[in-house]
Chains A and B, each alone.
Chain A
């Protein structure tokens, strides 16, 4: 589903990723970890084509990312749900509208959107907060809105960038539970985190990113 072959990425003259090669199978739930600044977010950005590789090839759900034309990028992104490290919620829209946006860009009709959004909000235990604005939510709740938005369109791939950044253990467990559920439905999930507790004893593959490359791969 996701395949990196000798991918190198520079920011100006600084190398961030060097010769990264990895394969993630369809339906897997995997982790990528490493110290801050190791390039985890960059690796995810390469997958949803927010950054382009300088060398090597990236295949995502059959798309050759390096060769993607501008017009095609939106169609790749519709297959990729993203939980952004910085949330990217629209503060002037309600929780409902924030989640609905991911469907509106698909031109779904209003009644389907209403049903789907309420269903997904219930799933992340935010059914009662649909009409609230993001700044009136706790960090954990905001995080769940972002997850709801990423999963509502039923993407084939879900990328989560530090999804438990500032959360306590209980909240982290709730969120991990959500990812396991999404994954159980067939979505390939890749989680970038430096929270070892998240993948400890998970039995899932974990990529260790260090010194600009995949240093090792272990089962968590």
Chain B
């Protein structure tokens, strides 16, 4: 407890003594954090858009025309018990024909010449979301194809693979850009604290000789980093709030599609950003102080 009190006093003293470099660091951190937050929100939102698309992805399983009633019942059980399949929609021959008529509209009379319904009955299946990878879907399709009474399995193979590519690219991009910003913020604190540390090198040497423990030596720097990061985070939160208010007022007026972005703006961001700033900053400070050897 006393350690903390003493350290906090000395931290505020040193923060004030170095107010310009600290201010610069705090602002840099807040810019970094704002970028990171905007980027994460953008990624999250794009992901949810993609997930919405993915929801519509389905396999169509066409049944054999001469399938027997028993076969059809057995097939139905097999499909409904398959845990990979989340939704099943049965389309009978009759329903298929009706839908075709509706699609054709005024041209429907061309079907009049048929005395037999040429359309097969079918199932529309939706797969579990985590299975929506080209390879896994292909396997599933092959597996279904081999079931008795199934004529053909169709799905949007090209569409799926491009969706998959986009999602992957986004995830990798998010990882690298997010990581780069993260490292940049760590480095900002790192270099500031490193400067402080070098300036106080003689003092630290003396402290060590007087019998100061590592924690006593390190704590002021960590607290320094903590406060810098926290302030950076708070400023960033305020900036994000400001931008949010501005965009919700102005931008949506001109750019209604922006509402999509705004829609999933979690309120916790205002708490997470300062905490993240503090955490990253403390890590930077810790690395800056490095190993203390006697």
Contact = CB atoms under 8 A, between A and B. Distances in A.
Interface string A35-49: 000000000000011
Contacts of A49: 294
B206 A50 contact: no
B214 interface: yes
Interface in B184-215: 202-203, 205-214
B216 interface: yes
Nearest to B213: A74
Contact of B212 (A74, A108, A109, A149): A74
Contact of A77 (B202, B205, B210, B293): B210
A75 interface: yes
B294 A73 contact: yes
Contacts of A107: 2-3, 6, 216
Contacts of A105: 207, 210-213, 216
Nearest to B216: A105
Q: Which of B2, B202, B203, B294 has the most CB of A within 10 A?
A: B294
Interface in B1-38: 2-3, 6
Contacts of B207: 101, 105
A48 B209 contact: yes
Contacts of A109: 2
A180 interface: no
A71 B86 CA distance: 59
Interface string A58-76: 0000000000001101111
B214 A71 contact: yes
Interface in A96-137: 101-102, 104-109
A88 B211 contact: no
B74 to A, nearest CB: 72
A82 interface: yes
A84 interface: yes
Nearest to A50: B209
Nearest to A109: B2
Contact of A88 (B6, B206, B293): B206
Given A49-B294, A109-B2, A74 B211 contact: yes
Contacts of B2: 107-109
A101 B294 contact: no
B7 to A, nearest CB: 10
A75 B213 CA distance: 8
Interface in B257-279: none
Contacts of B216: 105, 107
B10 to A, nearest CB: 9
A78 interface: yes
Contacts of A174: none
Contact of A70 (B6, B202, B293): B293
Contacts of A104: 6
B112 to A, nearest CB: 94
Nearest to A72: B294
B203 A90 contact: yes
A107 B3 CA distance: 6
Nearest to B215: A74
Contacts of B212: 74, 105
Contacts of A149: 210
Interface in B203-255: 203, 205-214, 216
Contacts of A74: 208, 211-214, 294
Q: Which of A48, A82, A88 has the most CB of B within 10 A?
A: A88
A78 B294 contact: no
Q: Which of B203, B206, B214, B293 has the most CB of A within 10 A?
A: B206
Contacts of B210: 77, 82, 101-102, 105, 149
A69 to B, nearest CB: 10
Contacts of B206: 88, 90, 101
Interface of B: 2-3, 6, 202-203, 205-214, 216, 293-294
23 contacts: A48-B209, A70-B294, A74-B208, A74-B212, A74-B214, A74-B294, A75-B211, A77-B211, A78-B211, A80-B211, A82-B209, A82-B210, A84-B209, A88-B205, A90-B206, A101-B206, A101-B210, A105-B213, A105-B216, A106-B211, A107-B3, A108-B2, A109-B2
10 tightest A-B CB contacts, nearest first: A77-B211, A78-B211, A105-B212, A73-B294, A107-B2, A74-B211, A88-B206, A74-B213, A102-B210, A90-B203
